[in-house]
Amino acid sequence: KAGVTQTPRYLIKTRGQQVTLSCSPISGHRSVSWYQQTPGQGLQFLFEYFSETQRNKGNFPGRFSGRQFSNSRSEMNVSTLELGDSALYLCASSSWDGNGDTQYFGPGTRLTVL
Amino acid sequence: GDSVTQMEGPVTLSEEAFLTINCTYTATGYPSLFWYVQYPGEGLQLLLKATKADDKGSNKGFEATYRKETTSFHLEKGSVQVSDSAVYFCALREAGGTSYGKLTFGQGTILTVHP
């Protein structure tokens, strides 16, 4: 099976702009989670979607939003970008394997805000 | 809330040395525990997992045992290789219906293996 794919791999934006990142899960996986990775804060959970519904959300401002489509592909959007939003954004897909769900990560999108 | 604490890094070893990276956790209930590895410029790769007390996860020579009594999940490998150089993350997923899709990660441990 193909792994989790994320596009684009690299993005450069300026403060105040908005950005949309895309994630295609492993075929058959219906849950997609998003994480932000920074040197200072480490890996932090943004939100999780399942069957087009957000089931869980981390402690991020409302500028961070997401959605999931009927084919399980997911997008996240960050509006009014700030310098501190520069990070590696990772998405992960998962499927119940009878022993709990295990998350498989994509390569990430590196966002730089200037 | 849930938390994961990993040993401070970086860790520098010679090839064929024994590796231990300590991981302890705080959680309510009975979490599942994971080790992920991240190579430069890449995402996270699942290394191993354990879903209940006394389970041992193993993969590619790495092992970790879920110790509920000490709330630990230490990663070990008997003989490291240069190719094992990477950042290692310990993570937990809380059991229960309010933790959908959320992994809580430790801060990561940088491992460098010299020839």
* Residue B23: per-residue pLDDT: 98
SS3 B15: coil
Choose the closest CB to A102 out of B49, B98, B107. B49
CA nearest neighbour of B35 among B71, B74, B78, B61: B74
* Residue A59: per-residue pLDDT: 94
Closest residue in B to A106 (Cα–Cα) = B43
Choose the closest CB to A105 out of B43, B51, B101. B43
Contacts of A103 in chain B (CB under 8 A): 46, 101, 103
Low-confidence ranges of chain A (pLDDT < 50): none
Q: Cα–Cα distance between A54 and B58 in angstroms, integer?
A: 33
Cβ contact, residue pair B44, A92, below 8 Å = yes
Q: Which amino acid is at B27?
A: A
Output the tens digit of pLDDT for each of chain B's 115 residues: 889 999 878 999 999 999 999 999 999 888 999 999 999 888 999 999 999 999 999 999 999 999 999 999 999 999 999 999 999 999 999 876 667 789 999 999 999 999 9
Q: Which two tokens stand for residue B90?
A: 């310990």
